[in-house]
Structure 1
Amino acid sequence: MEKVFRCPGRHGYAVEVSPFIPHRVACAASQHYGIAGCGALLVLDETESGVAVVQSWQWADGLFDVTWSEANEHVVVAGGGDGSLQLWDTANRGAPLRVAKEHTQEVSRLQRGGLLCVSVSDLVCVCVKVYSVDWSQTRGENLVVSGSWDQTAKVWDPSLSHSLTTLRGHEGVIYSTVWSPHIPGCFASASGDGTLRIWDVKSAACRLAVPAHRAEILSCDWCKYDQNIVATGSVDCSVCVWDLRNVKQPISTLLGHAYAVRRVKFSPFSEATLASCSYDFTVRFWDYRRNRPLETVEHHSEFVCGFDFNLHNPGQVVDCSWDETVKIYTPACLSVGSHNRAS
Structure 2
Amino acid sequence: MMKVFRCAGRHGYAVEVSPFIPNRVACAASQYYGIAGCGTLLVLDETEAGVALVRRWEWSDGLFDVTWSEANEHVMVAGGGDGSLQLWDTTNHNAPLRVSKEHMQEVYSVDWSQTRGENFIVSGSWDQTAKVWDPALSQSLTTLRGHEGVIYSTIWSPHIPGCFASASELGGQVLFVEFPVTQSSSGDGTLRIWDVKSAACRLAVPAHRAEILSCDWCKYDQNVVATGSVDCSVCVWDLRNVRQPVNQLRGHTYAIRRVKFSPFSKTLLASCSYDFTVRFWDFSRNQPLLDTVEHHSEFVCGLDFNLHIPNQVVDCSWDETVKIYTPACLSSHSAAP
TM range (shorter): over 0.9
Partner-residue secondary structure (3-state), 1:318:
strand
Distance 1:51 1:237 in 2: 31
Distance 2:231 2:36 in 1: 26
Amino acid at match of 2:266: E
Amino acid at match of 2:126: W
Distance 2:108 2:236 in 1: 22
Q: What's 1:134 paired with?
A: 111
Q: What's 2:335 paired with?
A: 342
Distance 1:139 1:95 in 2: 30
Amino acid at match of 1:342: A
Q: CA RMSD in A?
A: 0.6
Q: What's 2:186 paired with?
A: none
Is the Cα–Cα contact under 8 Å of residues 28 and 78 in structure 1 kept in the other structure? yes
Q: What's 1:203 paired with?
A: 198
Match of 2:222 among 220, 227, 232: 227
Residue 93 of structure 1: CA displacement? 0.3
Residue 289 of structure 1: CA displacement? 1.2
Are 1:250 and 2:227 matched, yes or no? no
Partner-residue secondary structure (3-state), 2:265:
coil
What are the superposed Cα offsets for residues 233-271 of structure 1, whole Å, 9 maximum, x if unpaired? 000000000000000000000000000000000000011
Is the Cα–Cα contact under 8 Å of residues 333 and 341 in structure 1 kept in the other structure? no
Partner-residue secondary structure (3-state), 1:94:
coil
Q: What is the TM-score of this pair, normalised by structure 2?
A: 0.93
Residue 290 of structure 1: CA displacement? 1.2
Amino acid at match of 1:190: A
Residue 34 of structure 1: CA displacement? 0.4
What are the superposed Cα offsets for residues 150-183 of structure 1, whole Å, 9 maximum, x if unpaired? 0000000000001000000000000000000000
Aligned length: 317
For residues 71-220 of structure 1, what are the structure 2 equivalents within 5 Å? 71-104=71-104, 128-193=105-170, 194-220=189-215
What are the superposed Cα offsets for residues 90-110 of structure 1, whole Å, 9 maximum, x if unpaired? 111011000000002xxxxxx
Give unmatched runs, 5+ long, in structure 2.
171-188
Amino acid at match of 1:246: N
Q: What's 2:262 paired with?
A: 267
Q: What is the TM-score of this pair, normalised by structure 1?
A: 0.92
Residue 341 of structure 1: CA displacement? 3.8
What are the superposed Cα offsets for residues 48-83 of structure 1, whole Å, 9 maximum, x if unpaired? 000000000000000000000000000000000000
Residue 315 of structure 1: CA displacement? 0.8
Match of 2:306 among 281, 300, 310: 310
Partner-residue secondary structure (3-state), 1:250:
coil
Are 1:239 and 2:239 matched, yes or no? no
Distance 1:341 1:11 in 2: 35
Distance 1:224 1:95 in 2: 34
Q: What's 1:115 paired with?
A: none
Give unmatched runs, 5+ long, in structure 1.
105-127
Q: What's 1:51 paired with?
A: 51
Amino acid at match of 2:264: F
Amino acid at match of 2:52: A
Are 1:321 and 2:317 matched, yes or no? yes
